[in-house]
Amino acid sequence: MLKIAITGPESTGKSTVAEKLARHYDTVWVPEYARTYIGNLGRTYTLEDIEAIARGQVALEQELKSKADKLYFADTDMLVLKIWSEHAFGHVPAYILEKLKQQDYNLYLLMGVDLPWEPDPQREHPHMRQFFYDWYKRELEAMGAPFVEVSGQQDARFELVRLHVENLLPTVNNL
């Protein structure tokens, strides 16, 4: 199965691209579990909440991956949770580090910060997107992960990621 993670800073079009790719390829996408969790929290999140979000994300991915045929897209990954917890609390739970090492995506799409910021009650750092983008890139490089940098406005961005997916399709058996 071809597995693609969409990662990067806030307000970079991750969810939009994940959903459009899933529709285009008639498959599933795994939404960001944190949105529902934080949306229902009713208080400021803690480090323990980020670990709970990680566990929920893993469970959601396992559930939805079983519904995919040969291809699926993840709107977030453990790298997002690692960077989030490290920045917010100066510590990353062992569970997140363990699951990050176990990730086996065929490709990471690192979403660029050239889209306009869209305010959202769950978004925290409108003026730090380049800082976070650079952090994601360093982490992906250190992991030796296969990734591409994605930029451009909505339609151009989608076409770019679609081309990267198309280039991978022949590498997966029976696709």
| Rounded Cα distance, 91 and 2, in Å | 32
Q: Specify the pLDDT at position 37.
A: 96
pLDDT digits (tens, 9 = 90+) for 5-61: 999 998 888 999 999 999 999 999 999 999 999 999 999 999 999 999 999 999 999
Q: How confident is the model at residue 175 (pLDDT cuts 50, 70, 90)?
A: very low
Q: Specify the pLDDT at position 124.
A: 82
pLDDT digits (tens, 9 = 90+) for 67-107: 988 899 999 899 999 999 999 999 999 999 999 999 999 99
Q: How confident is the model at residue 169 (pLDDT cuts 50, 70, 90)?
A: confident
Residue 126 has pLDDT above 60, yes or no: yes
| 115-to-33, 107, 133, 153 alpha-carbon distances in Å | 23, 21, 13, 6
- Of 12, 14, 47, give the one whose Cα is nearest residue 30: 14
Q: Specify the pLDDT at position 70.
A: 86
Q: Specify the pLDDT at position 41.
A: 94
Q: Specify the pLDDT at position 118.
A: 81
Q: How confident is the model at residue 125 (pLDDT cuts 50, 70, 90)?
A: confident
A 10 A CB-CB count for 172 gives: 13
Q: Specify the pLDDT at position 173.
A: 52
Helix ranges restricted to H, 76-128: 78-89, 94-102
For the chain, where are the E strands, in sequence order?
Answer: 2-7, 28-30, 71-74, 107-111, 147-150
Predicted TM-score (pTM) of this structure: 0.92
Fold entry, domain 2-171? Rossmann fold (3.40.50)
